[in-house]
């Protein structure tokens, strides 16, 4: 079965994805729509890989109680915990960490229920829109291209049933997440949201890269490009700014990410001055040899990448280990930058690098393609870009030219890992 995309209609009634095992009789009828909203929000964030801390989805109570009456929420939450429907970690750190929630294993299979309360549906849509970064012209253009896609739902359903994660996480939980995303696509509940760091989240960013062959545009397969060593390379470009001057370093470290601000307002520009260690690091990434330079005999590349990001790029400064020591010895300038980024909050290295990446790929590259060829179908997956075969040479040329503006010349790969 091929399912065709349709425009995301913000006026459609809100739809809830509710655990099949959940029983309506557990709550008074007047409370049910609010309970469904809460459960569906947990499921939605979880399916879109927005969980952290062992899969917990962190939800601010102030956000939830804009929909759920404030006096109703705590007893509702605690009753769901007592019934074994959800888990709550009850861990709170003002300004840093909200309570974490997750559906318990027996309640992760869901079915779709349309909200029957028109006023509540409008309120949900209004509040959700306010919580999102307002999409700009480039985001709306990227979203419109989804009208041209068709999805092989039968194949996706079969693959979800036997998918195996490559990062060592729980296999059944991984499959349940994929089933949830596939279910939403099949129902036409497509999503296109911009986070405060500028990343553009869509169904394509939530599915395994091996599934991209199951999506067609105007009846033809999607092809695309990826950058070798993309995330380490972005860190190298950020390091040029970090070491360029005191003002450049200050500007990089003091970036803020307000929910309603333009996420690309800082832009990307060439940095004056060069540090030899940073340039050697960038050249290694440009050649696509960064991971191999740190791997040891017997290391699996995919597993190694997960370990490296966890231990070096995005882990807390206090974490130590042989891999981190190896990186610090090989690239002391990059290691020093990352330590400084994470000094006050270890999450800031991820935020800063994600914003730099999104500013380059969406704020610069995708925006340029929109201006030059508005009829071209383009789909971004963070640091990868998909289109049809006839347009790939042009897209690749734009990517090379925009990186060349930064005095950077990355290795481009196709979706199978071959050189472009």
Is the distance from CB of 77 to CB of 145 less than 8 angstroms? no
Strand partners, 93: 97
**Residue 12 above 90 pLDDT?**
no
- The pLDDT of residue 415 is 80
- The pLDDT of residue 13 is 79
**Residue 1 above 90 pLDDT?**
no
- The pLDDT of residue 390 is 95
291 against 209, higher pLDDT: 291
12 against 203, higher pLDDT: 203
How far apart CA 159 and CA 71 sit, in angstroms, is 43
Task: Render 301-354 in DSSP notation, one character per residue.
Answer: HHHHHHHHIIIIISS-TT---HHHHHHHHH-HHHHHHHHHHTSS-TTHHHHHHH
> What tokens does 283 get?
């050249």
At 55 the three-state DSSP class reads: coil
The model's pLDDT over 244-295, given as tens digits with 9 standing for 90+, comes to 999 999 999 999 998 778 999 998 888 887 899 999 999 999 999 999 999 9
Single out the residue of 408, 393, 304 nearest to residue 356, CA to CA.
408
Task: Summarize the confidence of residues 97-103 as an average pLDDT.
Answer: 89
Q: Is 350 exposed, middle or buried (0-12, 13-18, 19+ CB in 10 A)?
A: middle
Strand partners, 379: 386
How far apart CA 379 and CA 200 sit, in angstroms, is 10
Expressed in angstroms, the distance from the first to the final Cα of the chain is 33
Cα separations (Å) of 283 from 233, 286, 396, 403, 408?
9, 5, 20, 13, 9
Q: Note the maximum CA span of the chain.
A: 67
> What tokens does 138 get?
């480039």
Task: Render 58-88 in DSSP notation, one character per residue.
Answer: E--HHHHTTTS-TTTHHHHHHHHHHTTSEEE
**Residue 129 above 80 pLDDT?**
no
The model's pLDDT over 369-419, given as tens digits with 9 standing for 90+, comes to 999 999 999 999 999 999 999 999 999 999 999 999 999 999 999 887 788
Q: pTM of the prediction?
A: 0.86
Task: Summarize the confidence of residues 40-58 as an average pLDDT.
Answer: 77
**Residue 7 above 50 pLDDT?**
no
């Amino acid at each position: 079965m091929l399912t065709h995309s349709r425009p995301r209609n913000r006026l459609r009634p809100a739809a809830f994805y509710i655990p099949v095992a959940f029983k309506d009789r557990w709550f008074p009828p007047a409370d049910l729509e609010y309970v469904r909203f809460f459960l569906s929000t947990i499921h939605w964030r979880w399916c879109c890989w927005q969980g952290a801390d062992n899969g917990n989805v962190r939800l601010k109570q102030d956000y939830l109680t804009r929909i759920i009456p404030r006096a109703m929420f705590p007893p509702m939450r605690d009753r769901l915990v007592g019934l074994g429907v959800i888990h709550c970690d009850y861990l709170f750190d003002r300004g840093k960490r909200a309570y974490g929630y997750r559906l318990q294993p027996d309640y992760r299979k869901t079915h779709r229920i349309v909200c029957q309360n028109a006023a509540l549906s409008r309120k949900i849509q209004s509040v959700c829109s306010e919580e999102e970064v307002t999409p700009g012209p480039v985001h709306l253009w990227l979203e419109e291209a989804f009208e041209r896609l068709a999805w092989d739902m039968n194949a996706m359903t079969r693959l979800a049933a036997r998918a195996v994660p490559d990062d060592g996480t729980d296999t059944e939980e991984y499959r349940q997440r994929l089933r949830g995303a596939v279910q939403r696509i099949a129902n036409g509940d497509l999503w296109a949201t911009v986070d405060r760091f500028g990343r553009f989240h869509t169904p394509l960013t939530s599915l395994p890269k091996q599934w991209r062959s199951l999506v067609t545009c105007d009846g033809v397969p999607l092809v695309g490009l990826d950058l070798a060593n993309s995330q380490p390379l972005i860190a190298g470009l950020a390091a040029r700014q970090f070491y360029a001057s005191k003002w450049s370093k200050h500007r990089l470290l003091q970036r803020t990410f307000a929910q309603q601000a333009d996420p690309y307002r800082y832009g990307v520009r060439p940095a004056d001055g060069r540090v030899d260690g940073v340039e050697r690091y960038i050249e290694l990434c440009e050649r696509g040899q960064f991971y191999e330079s740190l791997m040891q005999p017997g290391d699996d590349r995919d597993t190694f990448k997960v370990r490296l990001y966890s231990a070096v790029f995005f882990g807390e400064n206090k974490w130590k280990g042989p891999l981190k020591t190896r990186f610090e010895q090989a690239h002391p300038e990059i290691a020093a930058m990352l330590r400084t980024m994470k000094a006050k909050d270890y999450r800031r290295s991820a935020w800063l690098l994600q914003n730099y990446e999104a500013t380059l790929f969406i704020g610069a590259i995708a925006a340029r393609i929109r201006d030059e060829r508005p009829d071209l179908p383009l789909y971004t997956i963070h640091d990868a870009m998909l289109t049809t075969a006839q347009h790939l040479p042009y897209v690749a040329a734009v990517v090379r030219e925009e990186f060349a503006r930064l005095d950077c010349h990355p290795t481009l790969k196709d979706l199978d890992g071959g050189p472009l």
